[in-house]
Amino acid sequence: MAGLVKSDTEDFIDWWPHTVFYQIYPRSFKDSNGDGIGDLKGITSKLRYLADTGITATWLSPIFQSPMVDFGYDISDYKAIQPEYGTMQDFEELIDTAFELGIKVILDFVPNHSSDQHEWFKKSAAKEPGYEDFYVWHDGILQENGTRVPPNNWPSVFYGSAWEWHEGRQQYYLHQFTKEQPDLNYRNPRVVQAMDDVLLFWLKKGVAGFRIDAVNHLFEDESLKDEPLSGKTADSLSYDYTKHIYSRDLPEVLEMIHHWRQLLDDFSAKHPERPTRIMMTEAYGGLTQLADYYEDSNGVRGSHLPFNFHFITDVKGDSDARDYVYNVEKWLIYMPRGHAANWVMGNHDNPRVASRFGPASVDAMNMLLLTLPGVAVTYNGEELGMVDYRELSWEDTVDPPARNVGEEHYKEVSRDPVRTPFQWSNATNAGFSTATKTWLPVHPNYLELNLEAQKAAKRSHYQVYKDLLELRKSGIMRVGRFNIEPLSRWVFAFKRSYPNFESIITVINVSDQEQLVDLSEFLSQPKKLVVEVAGVDSKYQTGQPLAASALLLAAREGLVCRLV
């Protein structure tokens, strides 16, 4: 029975393998001083909300000093708080309050690039001793006609050449994202050292670890050769133009991950007064690559949680039951044994669940996310089923890749619609801010869609979400064995079971039609099926017994049941 009763060790040392990580986008969460921009005091004031919901860990998108070209992913001082977000004291208060409420705080660590306003970049551009090679510099190629062109054909993720000419230094520098985000040179041990200092600085402040941004971009092939063309587009400025074999996913990335894992493990060993420090890594990569991030073929452990983005990238509104089952199984098959699976349902870079799968799918997708084994990652607002503000105008658009492609195409790439302010209530600006203008407009649906309304309603997405978090506290959700099957083309089910414990069954209809399914063979037990959590519009009630042999599910309906 070991492991079924939550022990103190599990809470402290092994706290992370069963946790829900709630991503806060600080700029849009809660504004405490009326300037239209979310801030740290705002977050602190809402930590009680997280705790009441049942959240025990949060990761914050960047809160560091930044010119905000990429809204904090361009850092000009890794050890300072962005003034519009607050002060270091505000941060310390946030950490203390979180600790008191039992919430672990994970910070966003952006190692691939700094801001061009960082003093390292200024020093490097000026060739100050010790900083010459902090970034990736190159003379470029002098053509016969005397014009100078970038050293190769690499495009930036955000459109345009990945190289920018620097007048001062008379050289090109590499930037895999915007030109204001120069790539740091990880082949330079001084850079590695400087970043270790950054990590230790925040670890000493009591953070529980880091989400490591764009980790697969850290290294480039030293030859800086042209990349082969992908054949996907004729537009040489588009990121899809080349196959990124020299600028992404290099083997050296894994060495850096191992290095940072060691740093975290050493720190945890030396400072056992706080829970184990962990890392989550961001890389949109293949299964084998991400499996290696967990643990390589020599058994060296790396990232605690290499983000699994497959619910974002590999299933869509029209995917059928087989697609979902395959999506789940493939991760579990490739993940090395003894690690925690993780499932990311959304983030600040991708459309929201209600917009990807349709608003009717919100509860079913939260049921899926929260009853699978392992770690779940929720982007703020998904507990309410917030919707992308797709109508956001060109004038209000601020996201750099959207600005880069221009007015005609901005909607195809803009991330602004998923970053609009959190909808707390039906008050001005959805209760997010008292400003006359917020940094991004509030989605106009806030009058009906907001937390306050969902708390007051008899049934709501928020209450479903909260019930699911409550259910996760039971032992079966931590150690239950897992199996999943398609019951038909449109309905799949999975089971968490353990000897002598009541099993938990999740059944999901991913079609737009009502579906009748027979669960008896899947359950293979003559036990009674009882509803544990039902969606907002469900005709079923918690506690209601169900006939396993003929279960009727409404369009996009999910149900979480117990076998008693």
Query: Rule CB under 6 A: which residues touch ligand GLC?
Result: 70, 73, 110, 177, 213-214, 282, 348-349
120/177 with CB nearer ligand GLC: 177
| Contacting residues for 545 by C-beta, under 8 A, at least 6 apart | 528, 529, 530, 531
Q: Which of these is catalytic: 90, 108, 213, 388?
A: 213
Residues 371-383 as b or e (16 or more Cβ within 10 Å = b) = bbbbbbbbbbbbb
Tell the residue number behind the tokens 């400025």, with chain if given: 237
State the nearest-atom distance from the C-beta of 183 to ligand GLC, in Å. Answer: 11
Which residue from 414, 461, 462 is spatially nearest to 440, judged by alpha carbons? 414
70/90 with CB nearer ligand GLC: 70
Torsion of the alpha carbons at 313, 314, 315 and 319, rounded to the nearest 10: 140
* Phi, psi for 342 (deg, rounded to 5): -145, 150
70/416 with CB nearer ligand GLC: 70
349/518 with CB nearer ligand GLC: 349
402/484 with CB nearer ligand GLC: 402
State the nearest-atom distance from the C-beta of 214 to ligand GLC, in Å. Answer: 4
Q: Tell me, what DSSP letter sits at residue 397?
A: -
State the nearest-atom distance from the C-beta of 421 to ligand GLC, in Å. Answer: 17
State the nearest-atom distance from the C-beta of 404 to ligand GLC, in Å. Answer: 12
State the nearest-atom distance from the C-beta of 346 to ligand GLC, in Å. Answer: 12
275/401 with CB nearer ligand GLC: 401
State the nearest-atom distance from the C-beta of 348 to ligand GLC, in Å. Answer: 6
State the nearest-atom distance from the C-beta of 375 to ligand GLC, in Å. Answer: 18
Q: Which residue is nearest to ligand GLC (CB)?
A: 73
Q: Which of these is catalytic: 74, 183, 220, 282?
A: 282
Q: Are 487 and 507 in contact (CB under 8 A)?
A: yes
Which residue from 291, 208, 199, 202 is spatially nearest to 254, judged by alpha carbons? 291
Tokens of 271: 């400072």
Torsion of the alpha carbons at 171, 172, 173 and 178, rounded to the nearest 10: 140
282 is catalytic: yes
In whole angstroms, what is the distance from residue 380 CA to residue 45 CA?
Answer: 15
110/493 with CB nearer ligand GLC: 110
In whole angstroms, what is the distance from residue 367 CA to residue 492 CA?
Answer: 13
| Separate counts of helices (H) and strands (E) for the chain | 18, 23
213 is catalytic: yes
Q: Are 421 and 442 in contact (CB under 8 A)?
A: yes
Residue type, 50: L
Q: Which positions are annotated as active-site residues?
A: 213, 282
